Each structure stands twice: as C-alpha cells, then as structure tokens.
C-alpha cells in the first residue's frame, strides 16, 4: 500500500528577521507599559551604585546623597552666590544641590527584556536576571554623569573653580554626560542581549530559520554520501552552506 | 567576534567624541538638524499648513507650540552606531558603502517619523509627549539601527577565509 506523502510545512510569510523585529517592537511596548509603574523600584540598584560612586570619588565636595521616590539628591559643599532680591541680605551664599530622577535612564531594562522575549527565549528568566544585573553599571553611569554635569557645569565658573577640575576633566565630564544620556540607555541593552543570546543573533545573520525553544530539532534524513565534518570558526559569520542562499530548482520540462 | 566589538566600541567612542567638537557642531550637526526640521515641515505642509521650521525648531504658528530638535533627536548618534557596526563587521568596502548609504537613509526616515509624531503628540497631550520622547522613541530608533544592520549583514557578510574552509573545499 503506497504511503501518504507527509504534508509539507507552509513556508513562513515573513523572514525570520522581520518576525524578530515585529516581536521585539511589540514586546518592548508591553514591557515598557509593565515597567513604567515600577520604574522607581527597578532603578534603585543603579541609584545605589551611583550614590556610592559620588560619595567615594568626589568626597572632597559631595557632602551626602539621599534617595526618595523618583529622586536622587546630592548635597555638596560647593557654594553659589544668591542673586540679590528685595528683603534679603546682600552677598548671601547657598550650598549647591543636584537632583535627578534615576528612572529617567532606566528604560534600558524593558528594551533588554523585549529583545530576550523576541529572541530564542532559552533560559529566559536566568538571562533576564543576569542581563538586568549587567545593565546596573551602565544605568548608574548615566545617573552619575547627569548629576555631575548639572552641578559642575551648570553651576557656573565659580562652582567649577571650587571643584578643582582641570580643563581635560571638564571636557571628559561633558563627553561622559553625552555618552550616558544619548547612547548608553539604548546601546547597552543591545550589547548585553548580543552577549546573552549570541547563538540566536548568529542564526539570524546566517539567514537560517531559528529553532523555537519548544520545538525539538528533527534528525537529518540519511544522505547517500556522508558530508565532511566542518569545524565552524568562532564569530558571527559562518562558513556553513546554510549561509549561501539555495539555488532555485529548474522548472519542470513541458510535456510534449 | 571579540575583534568586532573592540573595533565597534572604539570607533563609536571616537566618532562620538568628534561629533561633540565645536567646529563639527557648527558646520555639520546644526545644519543637518536644521535640514531635518525643514524636511519635516515640508512633509507636514503637504497635509497641514500649520508647520514652520525656524532653524532646528519645528513650530505651529497658530498655537505657538514648537519642538526644538536637540542632540539625541537628530538621529546623528544612531547613524554613528550604525556606521561603527558596519565598518567593524567583516565585509568588502563596496558593500560597507552600500550599507552605509542605504542604512543612514533608513535611520533618518524613521527619525522623520519620530519628529513629526512628537510634533503632533505634544500638541495633543504633553504627558504622552514626554513619555514617547524620553522613553519610547529612543529605544525604537536603536531597534531600527539593529535591524538595518542585521539586514545588511545577512546580505553582505563575508565569510572569513581560513584553513578549515580550504580543507573542506579540497
């Protein structure tokens, strides 16, 4: 009795990369909506690290730091002359304080979670926790750089002179601020994701169909001649034949 | 892969530092930002006459509402990331130039969508404007950079030559 041919799986309508991008955008919107109400709590580890760095590295003029909901405040020994106002004594000075909302740069977390969900989803919880921990230093960098820029550069020449910063340190501070605000919150989660889900990213780049975590890989059908064993080099680019687009089969000959 | 990340991050820091220099800001960044505002006002003008560009500011002359396109919103930083990624990835220079030409246009096209959407969102609801401006669009632009890079890398990635390849071909 002839065997029924196996039903052919319908080819996906969209490429793996298109599906990945659509999943990533949808997951990011959902993750951001979930992150927004708890953004203050999610930012507290980074805020703590930023406080330690500021109190340790700049203890000469940082008096103390404090945290409250959606606020990290820095009290300094830097004095500023108050503008003359009616009814107030002349030549009043005040001590400079700075504050920032740590959650302002915390959206790297929902972006990372979205990439993990859109990716292979292998060891999702573990990767999410490890990835969130990896993002803390980058987030703390953004918080500290913003505070330093606002206080040191925003306080005016008088404040600048009190800090004792050399010109190159001031330029470096401005550079770190731009880096921390413009690049790190979006680039760090992508780099962390590439480190955690490297195999999935490599599969996308090799134009292969990524295997979902729930579907076991099916055994290859036996071939007439065994294929030579190729050792794949380390890196994103593969020498596997799968990296080359398959040739289209020739059209069937027309019947006479 | 290690080499890719070292070159990528090093090139990015270098280009970012160059972008922050005063002459570069004056002669490149500000004119590009003003051009972006002008393009957005021209596109809006096709359907809505209430949009005018003054330098890097896009403004509704009727309501007085305006947005100033600042660093981070002009798409230059995203273009720097894409440029660094393409240059760092193994490929021929011809393919790199193709990727840069098409990729930079793709990034700026989405950036135009960002600016126009924020222009209207700000006139509708400032809370949603702040949310979209500070969180949503920043990440979406970088996702766009990632996907543009991956599309280019899938098409133009050059397999490394080495002993394993020659032994398999023999």
Query: pLDDT confidence of A5, banded at 50, 70, 90?
Result: low
Q: In the prediction, which pLDDT does B92 show?
A: 92
Is the separation of the CB atoms in A70 and A40 below 8 Å?
Answer: yes
Q: Whole domain around residue B88: which residue ranges? A: 2-158
Task: Look up residue A194 and give its two tokens.
Answer: 């590439």
Spell out which residues of chain A touch residue B168, defining contact as CB-CB under 8 Å. 228, 230, 239
Taking an 8 Å cut-off on Cβ atoms, the answer to whether A186 and B142 are in contact is yes
Query: pLDDT confidence of A229, banded at 50, 70, 90?
Result: very low
Neighbours of A183 (CB within 10 A): 21
Q: Is residue B136 part of a domain?
A: yes
Give the pLDDT mean for B38-60. 91
Task: Look up residue B35 and give its two tokens.
Answer: 């051009």
Taking an 8 Å cut-off on Cβ atoms, the answer to whether B89 and A182 are in contact is no
Q: Is residue B166 part of a domain?
A: no
Spatial separation of the C-alpha atoms in residues A34 and A38, rounded to whole Å = 8
Q: Is residue B104 part of a domain?
A: yes
Give the pLDDT mean for B55-79. 91
* Residues B40-58: b if buried by 16+ CB within 10 A, e if exposed: bbeebeeeeeebbbeebeb
Kindly tell me if the per-residue pLDDT of B170 is higher than 90. Answer: no
Q: Phi/psi at A94 (nearest 5 deg)?
A: -135, 160
Spell out which residues of chain A touch residue B71, defining contact as CB-CB under 8 Å. 178, 182
**pTM (2 d.p.):** 0.79
B 15-34 residues inside an 8 A Cβ radius of A: 16-17, 20
| More confident position, A122 or A185 | A185
Q: In the prediction, which pLDDT does A84 show?
A: 76
Spatial separation of the C-alpha atoms in residues A243 and B76, rounded to whole Å = 32
- At residue A18, the 3 state secondary structure works out as helix
Q: In the prediction, which pLDDT does A226 show?
A: 46
CB contacts < 8 A, A to B, total 93
A11-66: per-residue pLDDT in tens?
A: 667 788 889 999 999 999 999 999 999 999 999 999 999 999 999 999 888 999 99
CA A89 remoteness from chain centre: 50
Helix axes B93-124, B30-45, angle to 10 degrees: 60
Q: Is residue B105 part of a domain?
A: yes
Kindly tell me if the per-residue pLDDT of A190 is higher than 50. Answer: yes
Nearest to B157 among A185, A190, A205 (CB): A205
Structural domains counted in chain B: 1
| Cβ partners under 8 Å of residue A143, min gap 6 | A46, A47, A50, A72, A100, A102, A105, A180
Q: In the prediction, which pLDDT does B128 show?
A: 92
Give the pLDDT mean for A118-129. 92
Kindly tell me if the per-residue pLDDT of A75 is higher than 50. Answer: yes
Q: Give the lowest-confidence range in A190-199, A205-214, A238-247, B6-15.
A: A238-247
Q: In the prediction, which pLDDT does A239 show?
A: 44
Is the separation of the CB atoms in A82 and A98 below 8 Å?
Answer: no
Taking an 8 Å cut-off on Cβ atoms, the answer to whether A187 and B81 are in contact is yes
A187 touches chain B (CB under 8 A): yes
| More confident position, A243 or A161 | A161
B91-150: per-residue pLDDT in tens?
A: 999 999 999 999 999 999 999 999 999 999 999 999 999 999 988 999 999 999 999 999
Query: pLDDT confidence of B158, banded at 50, 70, 90?
Result: low
| More confident position, A248 or A11 | A11
Give the pLDDT mean for B71-87. 93
Spell out which residues of chain B touch residue A25, defining contact as CB-CB under 8 Å. 140, 143
Spatial separation of the C-alpha atoms in residues A110 and A42, rounded to whole Å = 10
A 14-43 residues inside an 8 A Cβ radius of B: 17, 20-21, 24-25, 28-29, 32, 36
Spatial separation of the C-alpha atoms in residues A19 and A12, rounded to whole Å = 10
Spatial separation of the C-alpha atoms in residues B66 and A218, rounded to whole Å = 58
Looking up tokens 């969102």, which residue turns up?
Answer: B121
Q: Mind telling me how many Å the CA of A50 is from chain B's nearest CA?
A: 21
DSSP string across A58-118: TTTTEEEEEEETTEEEEEEEEEEEPPP-TTS-TT-EEEEEEEE-GGGGTTHHHHHHHHHHH
Q: Mind telling me how many Å the CA of B50 is from chain A's nearest CA?
A: 30
Q: Closest residue of A to B162, CA-based? A: A233
- Closest by Cα among B92, B85, B1 to A233: B1
Taking an 8 Å cut-off on Cβ atoms, the answer to whether A17 and B157 are in contact is no
Q: Is residue B163 part of a domain?
A: no
Q: Is residue B85 part of a domain?
A: yes
Q: Mind telling me how many Å the CA of B150 is from chain A's nearest CA?
A: 6
Q: Mind telling me how many Å the CA of A96 is from chain B's nearest CA?
A: 26
Spatial separation of the C-alpha atoms in residues A196 and B37, rounded to whole Å = 39
Sign of the CA dihedral B104, B110, B113, B115?
negative
Q: Is residue B169 part of a domain?
A: no
Query: pLDDT confidence of B27, banded at 50, 70, 90?
Result: very high
Q: Is residue B164 part of a domain?
A: no
């Amino acid at each position: 009795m002839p065997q029924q041919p196996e039903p052919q799986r319908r080819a996906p309508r969209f490429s793996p990369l298109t599906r990945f991008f659509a999943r990533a955008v949808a997951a990011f919107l959902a993750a951001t909506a979930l992150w927004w109400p708890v953004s203050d709590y999610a930012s507290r580890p980074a805020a703590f690290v930023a406080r330690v760095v500021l109190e340790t590295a700049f203890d000469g003029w940082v008096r103390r730091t404090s945290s409250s909901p959606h606020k990290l405040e820095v009290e300094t020994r830097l004095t500023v002359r108050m503008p003359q106002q009616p009814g107030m004594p002349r030549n009043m000075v005040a001590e400079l304080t700075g504050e920032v909302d740590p959650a302002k740069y915390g959206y790297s977390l929902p972006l990372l979670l979205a990439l993990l969900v859109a990716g292979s989803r292998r060891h999702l919880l573990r990767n999410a926790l490890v990835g969130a921990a990896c993002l803390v230093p980058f987030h703390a960098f953004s918080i500290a750089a913003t505070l330093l820029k606002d206080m040191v550069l925003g306080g005016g020449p008088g404040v600048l002179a009190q800090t004792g910063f050399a010109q190159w340190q001031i330029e470096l501070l401005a550079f770190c601020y731009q880096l921390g605000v413009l690049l790190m919150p979006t680039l760090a989660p992508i780099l962390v994701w590439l480190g955690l889900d490297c195999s999935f990213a490599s599969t996308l780049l090799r134009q292969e169909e990524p295997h979902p975590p729930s579907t076991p890989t099916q055994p290859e059908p036996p071939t007439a001649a065994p294929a030579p064993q190729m050792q794949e080099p380390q890196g994103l680019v593969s020498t596997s034949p799968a990296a080359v687009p398959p040739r289209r089969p020739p059209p069937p000959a027309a019947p006479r | 892969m290690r080499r890719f990340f070292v070159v990528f991050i090093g090139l990015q820091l270098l280009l970012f530092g160059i972008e922050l220099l005063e002459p570069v800001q004056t002669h490149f960044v500000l004119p590009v930002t003003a051009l972006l505002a002008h393009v957005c006002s021209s596109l809006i003008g096709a359907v809505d006459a209430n949009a005018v560009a003054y330098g890097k500011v896009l403004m509704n002359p009727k309501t007085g509402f305006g947005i100033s396109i600042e660093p981070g919103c002009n798409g230059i930083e995203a273009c720097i990331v894409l440029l660094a990624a393409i240059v760092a990835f193994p490929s021929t220079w011809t393919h790199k130039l193709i990727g840069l030409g098409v990729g930079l246009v793709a990034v700026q096209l989405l950036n135009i969508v960002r600016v126009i959407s924020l222009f209207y969102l700000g006139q509708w609801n400032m809370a949603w404007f702040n949310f979209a401006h500070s969180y949503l669009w920043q990440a979406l632009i970088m996702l766009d950079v990632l996907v543009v890079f991956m599309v280019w890398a899938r098409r133009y990635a050059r397999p490394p030559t080495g002993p394993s390849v020659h032994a398999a071909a023999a």
